C-alpha cells in the first residue's frame, strides 16, 4: 500500500493516535482469605497492550485503611515499593511469592465469596476500579 509506505517514511506531521501511550487492562484479581483479622494480600495482573510503559503508583480499597505495594526479594523478604512498573507490551504480575498488594487496617475480615474493591492509580493512565473475589486461602490461579 503506497499510503502506508508514505507515512512510514515520516512525511506526515500527524502523530499516530493512541499508539504511543499505555493501554491497560486488569485481570485475575483476587484476595486470599487471610489467616489474620488485621492484614490481607491482594493479587492481580495488569496487562499493557500499548506502546508506552506505565507505573502503578497507588492502590486504595474499600476494606482497608492502607494498601501498600510490596516486592519480594530473592531471599523471600518483603520490600515496600512506591511504584511498580507496567512495561509497554508487557504485564505487571502480582502473585503469591512475588510482587503483591498488602492490605492493612482491615475494616472487616474478608471471607470467601466476599468481594473486595480496589482502585488502582497509575502515572499515565486513568484509574482502574477492580472487584476482586475473596478466595479460600488454598486457592492458586491456573496460569
Ligand atoms: Cu507484603
Q: What is the pLDDT of residues 1-20, one digit of tens each?
A: 444 444 444 444 444 555 68
If one counts the domains in the chain, the total is 1
Let me know if residue 137 belongs to a domain.
no
Q: Do the beta carbons of residue 27 and residue 44 sit within 8 Å?
A: yes
More confident residue, 1 or 30: 30
Mean of all residue pLDDT scores within the chain: 89
pLDDT at position 4: 46
Is the pTM here over 0.95, yes or no?
A: no
Domain that holds residue 109: 18-132
Let me know if residue 44 belongs to a domain.
yes
Let me know if residue 141 belongs to a domain.
no
Q: What is the CATH number of the domain that holds 109?
A: 2.60.40.1890
CA 9 to ligand 1 centroid distance, Å = 49
CA 4 to ligand 1 centroid distance, Å = 49
Amino acid at each position: 500500500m503506497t499510503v502506508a509506505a508514505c507515512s512510514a517514511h515520516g512525511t506526515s506531521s500527524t502523530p499516530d493516535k493512541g499508539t504511543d501511550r499505555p493501554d491497560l487492562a486488569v485481570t485475575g484479581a483476587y484476595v486470599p482469605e487471610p489467616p489474620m483479622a488485621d492484614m490481607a494480600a491482594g493479587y492481580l495482573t495488569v496487562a499493557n497492550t500499548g506502546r508506552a510503559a506505565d507505573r502503578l503508583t497507588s492502590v486504595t480499597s474499600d476494606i482497608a485503611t492502607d494498601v501498600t505495594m510490596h516486592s519480594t526479594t530473592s531471599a523471600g523478604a518483603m520490600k515496600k515499593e512506591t511504584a511498580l512498573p507496567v512495561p509497554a507490551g508487557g504485564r505487571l504480575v502480582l502473585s503469591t511469592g512475588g510482587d503483591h498488594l498488602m492490605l492493612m487496617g482491615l475494616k472487616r475480615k474478608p471471607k470467601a465469596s466476599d468481594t473486595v474493591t480496589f482502585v488502582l492509580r497509575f502515572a499515565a493512565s486513568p484509574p482502574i476500579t477492580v472487584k476482586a473475589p475473596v478466595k479460600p486461602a488454598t486457592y492458586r490461579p491456573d496460569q
